[in-house]
Amino acid sequence: MNIRDCLGCYGGGKNAESPCVQKDDMAKIYPVYKEADIVVLASPLYYWTFSGQLKTCFDRLFAVAECNPDYSNPVKETVLLMAAEGDEFEESLYWYDRLEKHLGWKSLGKVLCGGVAGIGDISGRKELTEAYNLGKSIS
């Protein structure tokens, strides 16, 4: 998707249907985010944290919080799915934990799969079953 960086203009939130001043592919995400009970954050580990693409998208969701006078975010349940060559997920977990602490979101589970870099490495890994079972438990 074509998702531009947040401008930090604090000019959003005037129209709940199209909350950001920038008009790009976030237009596809805002209505889905509004309806969603659960937000699944899925990312490879890039330089010890989740991808810039995911962070950019998340920053742009601030425009939804701007619809409220106190910038409160909609409360969601959430899931974290990550893959990495190594297994240093600490920074991502720290950030993910903030969603619970500051946004009041509830984590339904995390699946972190280290040791996967090349095509096919994930084949047969127990984390695939964990992800399947997590999905089943919430569907």
What residue ranges bind ligand FMN (CB under 6 A)?
A: 44-48, 83-86, 88, 116-117
Closer to ligand FMN at the Cβ: 20 or 92? Answer: 92
Distances from the Cα of 125 to the Cαs of 27, 85, 102, 116, 117, in angstroms? 36, 14, 33, 9, 13
The residue number with the shortest CB distance to ligand FMN is: 86
Q: Is 29 left (phi over 0), alpha (psi -120 to 50) or beta?
A: alpha
Least spacing, CB of residue 121 vs ligand FMN, in Å: 7
Judged by beta carbon, residue 8 or residue 118, the one nearer ligand FMN is 118
Smallest gap from residue 113 Cβ to ligand FMN (A): 8
> Alpha-carbon distance 16 to 32, whole Å?
13
